[in-house]
Structure 1
């Protein structure tokens, strides 16, 4: 979002996030404690991290925007960026909904069923994503858009928009199929992501050092070593959140060895 984003008919800007950080970092306690300088002043060749995006476009950042706007510290026009953060935070929550989150108060982290509010959220997000476009960051308002050279199509309508639209459509189709043919009453989209698989292969790469093309023997050895040494656990600095699939895999392997 280094360019300005036209979101729901308003202009959301990256500079708004920087201004929020500069204001919030001077206060104690902070309204958005997870928002750091690294989030808003991205290094030129920094690593791509999913959690960096989720911490930036989060409910706490939206709440901080709302608080500072209401007290008059930040101008009212920053509300567009606040809405941008809130909407994407809700979208992240819908696709991370899980039965394990029942104890949490976040509405969109609960499993999806036929009568839940998630579908209304997805319908609104689909409409907003289809209208989303990016413009030159020098534009201070939509009235100035014609004064600047239009961005290339790949930057104006980036690929991630189609990716989100595909995910929303796929989730709706999957829910209809599971409920109509397999008697599912609810689904947990978090169980559909590949975090568990990514964490697992990350551990296998660690066991094989610099060998990026292990054969079957090396893969089997690395897998056994990871299980025996209880290394099937997520890392604090990993790109994915912790998952329970690897724990179940470890327990299964331990029971298999003990029963021999």
Structure 2
């Protein structure tokens, strides 16, 4: 759809296409990120916000103005360039991710709040003027789902700024933190732990949640993913749990032949005493195998138990090769 805005101006898809066609085969380009996928997207690519953000960007708007100045595009393309620039500004405000971002991309602070709120209000007024020309005859439309989505996002951002900075006393707000990317990244990790099952059952979901929580929710995003890396860090990391376990293990180190179960919150649970030789031999051996597989090993109490000249569990002695003695089993 072509979009009429501010009463008598028109942004057309044709101008964007002409700009891309004039640039695609050149060695030096005014908008280097544009590809065929931006103008002929596949089924999966149609949902990628990144493609839309790269089309409605400052580089594209300035590039179109350059071509108009050199008479390589018609003068009416300036109206399309103006529309692209305004949409780019809205993307930048709602996608602020850094306290010291430049060119309108910085976090909202007490000092910049009035300016940002004014820009968001102006963006709302700009969006309300949009009218959509019919593709094949018929009447023009005054609304589309993405238009309502823009208005909802901007109004939500304004209320978050009012509440966060003026009521909750937050020092700054990165509006990108309120986007859907973080939720989508999280559920992507859950699906990845279940063989990319789109609809995991409750027990599978809980198992995946425990697994990715223990792994600090770290994931390397593949190229071309729909969502950007959100850059989140765990509020409570697994090493905090290890410190609690280490403290509990240290206090129990003087009680041989008794193995203590440690709960998830680090508290020592019920003591378990083993009466038979098999249990006494097997439990330390299995424990050693598990700790050997750990990539991070920082439990000093466990090292004291497992790295000894002569292990109390004879299984270690008989299973060890000569060159692995006096080391971690």
- List aligned pairs for 1:63-78, cutoff 5 A: 63-78=62-77
**Partner of 1:239 in structure 2?**
226
> Which structure is larger by alpha-carbon Rg, 1 or 2?
2
Instruction: Give the TM-score normalised by structure 1.
Output: 0.82
Show CA shifts across 1:226-246 (max 9, x none): 45667722412221111122x
Q: Secondary structure at the match of 1:109?
A: coil
Name the counterpart of 2:105: 109
**TM-score normalised over the length of structure 2:** 0.66
The answer for the alignment partner of 1:256 in structure 2 is 241
Question: How many Å separate the matches in 1 of 2:135 and 2:21?
Answer: 19
> Which runs of 5 or more residues in structure 2 are unaligned?
246-329
- How far residue 259 of structure 1 moved from its aligned partner, in angstroms, is 4.7
Hey, which bits of structure 1, 4+ residues long, moved more than 6 A?
none
Q: What is the root-mean-square deviation in Å for CA atoms of aligned residues?
A: 2.4
Q: Which has the higher helix share?
A: 1
Deviates more, 1:33-42 or 1:212-221: 212-221
Question: Distance between the aligned counterparts of 1:190 and 1:168, measured in 2?
Answer: 12
Shift of 1:253: 2.9
* More off after superposition, 108-117 vs 29-38: 108-117
Q: Which region of structure 1 is more displaced relative to structure 2, 190-199 or 207-216?
A: 207-216
Deviation string, structure 1 residues 191-229 (Cα, Å, up to 9, x no partner): 222312210110111221253333343223323444566
Partner of 1:206: 192
Looking at both structures, which has the greater relative contact order when contacts are Cα pairs under 8 Å and sequence separation is at least 6?
1
How much has 1:22 moved relative to structure 2? 0.7
Kept in 2, the 8 Å contact 1:208–1:222? The answer is yes
Q: Which structure 1 residue ranges, 5 or more long, are not aligned?
A: 139-147
Change (3 A) 1:174 1:231: closer
CA 1:214/1:43 → structure 2, altered by over 3 Å: closer, same or farther? closer
Hey, what's the Cα distance between the residues in 2 that align with 1:248 and 1:233?
A: 12
Check 1:83–1:215 CA distance in 2 against 1; reply closer, same or farther (3 A cut): same
Q: Report the count of equivalent residues.
A: 241
